[in-house]
Chains A and B, each alone.
Chain A
Amino acid sequence: MSQPIVEVTGLSKCYRLGAIGTTSLREEFARLRDRFRGAPHPKKEEFWALNDVSFSIQPGEVLGVIGRNGAGKSTLLKILSRITEPTRGSVRLRGRVASLLEVGTGFHPELTGRENVFLNGAILGMTRAEVRRKFDEIVAFAEVDQFIDTPVKRYSSGMYVRLAFAVAAHLEPEILIVDEVLAVGDSAFQQKCLERIDVISRREHRTVLLVSHNLNAVLQLCTQAIYLADGRLVGAGEPAEIVRNYFGAKSQSADLIDLSVRPRSARERGKARLTGVRMASDSGGLAWQIPWGNPIALEFVIEVTERLQRLELGLGLFNLQGFEIATSLSTWNQPIGPLEPGTYRIQARYPVLHLVTGTYRIGVGLRSERNMEDHLSEACEIEIVPSPASQRQQISSLRGAMAAMIDTTITRLER
């Protein structure tokens, strides 16, 4: 194995709580006075944003960094991009680093797009000659050719972000540090950003360190991943495995939604009650996120307190505007029952619906041969997230509720 291009050893960063924000001269004098008198000065509380983190990246790898807010991801990036120094430990970087912590840094609103490209390029570490060489490519990528000599303060926010990302995406560092830039722009542009990062890593063989909340981006792009929690490194390895660990840790209790505590109207009899719902594993997603193209599969836990001859499960799939996209009744396929009192698990699996990406609500009802037993209009929310398949087909830019796969044939009728 060759020498790692990034080597992080025992990296720690301590913030003194209370030292965040500045002291005034008066406080400082008070501290000096206390010190001279030998009075104990109240010790400031310490907070370790990073604690003994070590990992390394080989040249050409794409490393994903995941972890919840406050896990230390941003601190790690700030140290790696040399914005602040660690308290302990060290980082060795064997190559030129460029970081995209936020696009558009240093853009000046009064300057034109062209001027800002040069200025921003220089801020990010490019020479003027380099920017000149890449200029046409940058402008084409940002799709702002017509407006390149207009001050950027007249740009739409979309154009602004596109231009800013375009400059950053055409840096030629050996190591590229990317943070959350995938959250900008419309979905088509986001896809373009992902592809650009893919090109940077795969074709140009550059090393990328990617911090993102978009776990699908991590799965799609990264060759390695690390998982931070409370400033410590808790996992490192294959992205798929690390993402699974992340959700394992996150959702052990959260995965099963407790439905027994939800308020119900008095109309339902409640001889059969919904007590929980979870997402079945064959949706292939992670905690209520289902990659586009995978089936929606749910598992309900119900409690039956009285013998029921027949039970019917009804599902409604609503979009966020409250429109019911699909209605389903379990009796269409096979009736359930008779049921003795006890706890049961019902699995319900939709066919692949090809819904456009977004958030959906699921309403559930239970009906026995005699009456409505239980009903929850919002049992759970699911999110259909982009997948490689949806990105290929640009699903997120579609209108309508779903993508319907059609067969087409064409026959020439007359010459």
Chain B
Amino acid sequence: MSTAPREIVIQSTRGFRFVDWRELYAYRDLLSLLVWRDFATRYKQTILGPLWHIFQPLLTTIIFTVVFSQIAELPTDGLPPTLFYLCGLLAWNYFAQTFNSTSSTLIANAGLFGKVYFPRLIVPLSSVISNVVSFLIQLVSFFVILFIYHASHPLSTALPRWSALVLLPLVLAQLAAFSLGIGLWLAALTTKFRDFTVLSGFLIQLWMYLTPIIMPLAKVPPHWHVFVALNPVTMPVECFRYLLLGTGWINVPLLLASIATTLVTLVSGVMIFQRVEKTFIDTV
């Protein structure tokens, strides 16, 4: 395994540094084992096991349908409410889960990080990947429900744009990059201020209402669109609807702004994380 021993110099680092790709690559087996561990252990001693991946969004969808569509009578862009919410939650759940696990990386693993060295980025990366796996399970269940719907409503136009569906991985990649970036920011901040552990749970709840999950973006008045542009999760959610249900409000300048925000968040998030990670164990 071992290549020629390379010299490691340990000293106080000043300033910021980006990723040591070579080291990250050397620990690729750890990355895959952590992804596997997430899966192997999450549903031990549960009856439903991985079915929980499907039940969670399904139950939320039912509640949203009853509360927001039936009672509050919010519009759903001309789409059947169930499909509308389910599709939005598909994107949202990925974001929320990845954000939750990456933002608690340093605090939750302090015991491990205090004993062994390995590139700390491996742990948030592993949650990004393991959440992709649960996303795929949910995506499959989404298609199953979509076809059941079409079997009973043959005239519905809520159909995926099959030819454009190849772009879905790109949208997911943007969502992954943004949730990792913002999660790393929060992870770094929580080591210094515990206030952020409280904040991050709360933040994600509020954030959903700033994202078009329960109502379509088309419903938002144009002079509020600046807030939408500030929320990089909006465009991926709308793209999901566009690709999976054929209806969505995609604005190219906003999309580009959202991608730019994502990149800035990711790069700065990695840098602040790398900086804090060096000595956080002294203060945790």
By a beta-carbon cutoff of 8 Å, the part of chain A in contact with chain B is: 15, 19-25, 28, 78-97, 99, 101-102, 105-106, 108, 110-111, 115, 118-119, 122-130, 172, 174
Q: Mark B1-33, 1 if CB is under 8 A from A, else 0.
A: 110010111111100000000000001011001
CB pair B278–A85 under 8 Å, yes or no, is yes
B163 contacts the other chain (Cβ, under 8 Å)? no
Q: Which residues of B lie under 8 Å from residue A88 when comparing CB positions? A: 12
CB pair B10–A102 under 8 Å, yes or no, is no
Q: Which residues of A lie under 8 Å from residue B7 when comparing CB positions? A: 92-94
Q: Which of B9, B11, B45, B116 is the one whose CB lies under 8 Å from A124?
A: B116
Stretch at the interface among B59-67, B168-176, B188-196, B201-209: B188-196
Q: Which residues of A lie under 8 Å from residue B2 when comparing CB positions? A: 96, 172, 174
B161 contacts the other chain (Cβ, under 8 Å)? no
Q: Which of B8, B13, B116 is the one whose CB lies under 8 Å from A105?
A: B116
Q: Which of B11, B27, B34, B40 is the one whose CB lies under 8 Å from A91?
A: B11
Q: Which residues of A lie under 8 Å from residue B9 when comparing CB positions? A: 90-93
B117 contacts the other chain (Cβ, under 8 Å)? yes
Q: Which residues of B lie under 8 Å from residue A105 when comparing CB positions? A: 111-112, 115-116
Q: Given the interface contacts A99-B116, A118-B33, does A174 sit within 8 Å of B194 by beta carbon?
A: no
Complex-state Cα separation, A130 to B30, whole angstroms: 12
Complex-state Cα separation, A124 to B30, whole angstroms: 9
Q: Which of A22, A28, A83 is the one whose CB lies under 8 Å from B281?
A: A83
Q: Which of A24, A115, A123, A124 is the one whose CB lies under 8 Å from B195?
A: A24
B150 contacts the other chain (Cβ, under 8 Å)? no
By a beta-carbon cutoff of 8 Å, the part of chain B in contact with chain A is: 1-2, 5, 7-13, 27, 29-30, 33-34, 37, 40-41, 44-45, 111-118, 191-195, 278-279, 281-284
Q: Which of B13, B193, B281, B282 is the one whose CB lies under 8 Å from A23?
A: B193
CB pair A95–B1 under 8 Å, yes or no, is no
Tell me how many residue pairs across A and B have CB atoms closer than 8 Å: 124
Complex-state Cα separation, A127 to B30, whole angstroms: 8
Please name 15 further chain A to chain B contacts, defined as beta carbons within 8 Å, in addition to the given A23-B193, A125-B118, sorted by A numbering.
A22-B283, A28-B193, A84-B281, A85-B12, A87-B12, A88-B12, A93-B9, A95-B5, A99-B115, A101-B115, A105-B115, A106-B116, A111-B41, A126-B1, A126-B29
CB pair A90–B11 under 8 Å, yes or no, is yes
Q: Which residues of B lie under 8 Å from residue A23 when comparing CB positions? A: 192-193
Q: Which residues of B lie under 8 Å from residue A111 when comparing CB positions? A: 37, 40-41
Q: Given the interface contacts A89-B11, A92-B7, A106-B116, does A84 sit within 8 Å of B29 by beta carbon?
A: no
CB pair B193–A22 under 8 Å, yes or no, is yes
Complex-state Cα separation, A126 to B34, whole angstroms: 14
CB pair A79–B41 under 8 Å, yes or no, is no
CB pair A110–B12 under 8 Å, yes or no, is no
Complex-state Cα separation, A105 to B282, whole angstroms: 19
Q: Which residues of B lie under 8 Å from residue A89 when comparing CB positions? A: 11
CB pair B281–A24 under 8 Å, yes or no, is no
CB pair A86–B114 under 8 Å, yes or no, is no
CB pair A85–B279 under 8 Å, yes or no, is yes
Closest CB in chain A relative to B279 CB, distance in Å: 5
Q: Given the interface contacts A22-B283, A84-B279, A85-B279, does A122 sit within 8 Å of B30 by beta carbon?
A: yes
Closest CB in chain B relative to A55 CB, distance in Å: 14
CB pair B5–A94 under 8 Å, yes or no, is yes
Closest CB in chain B relative to A102 CB, distance in Å: 5
The 10 closest A-B pairs by CB, nearest first: A82-B117, A90-B11, A122-B30, A91-B10, A95-B5, A105-B115, A93-B8, A110-B44, A128-B29, A101-B115
Task: Supply 18 A–B pairs (Cβ within 8 Å), ascending by A.
Answer: A20-B282, A22-B284, A24-B194, A25-B195, A83-B116, A83-B117, A84-B279, A85-B12, A85-B279, A87-B12, A90-B10, A91-B8, A91-B9, A99-B115, A99-B116, A106-B112, A172-B2, A174-B2
Q: Which residues of A lie under 8 Å from residue B281 when comparing CB positions? A: 78, 83-84
Look across to chain A and name the residue whose beta carbon is closest to the beta carbon of B282: A84
CB pair A174–B5 under 8 Å, yes or no, is yes
CB pair B116–A101 under 8 Å, yes or no, is yes
Q: Which residues of B lie under 8 Å from residue A87 when comparing CB positions? A: 12
Complex-state Cα separation, A19 to B191, whole angstroms: 12
CB pair A22–B192 under 8 Å, yes or no, is yes
Complex-state Cα separation, A127 to B3, whole angstroms: 13
Q: Which residues of A lie under 8 Å from residue B117 when comparing CB positions? A: 81-83, 97, 99
Closest CB in chain A relative to B33 CB, distance in Å: 5
Closest CB in chain A relative to B125 CB, distance in Å: 14
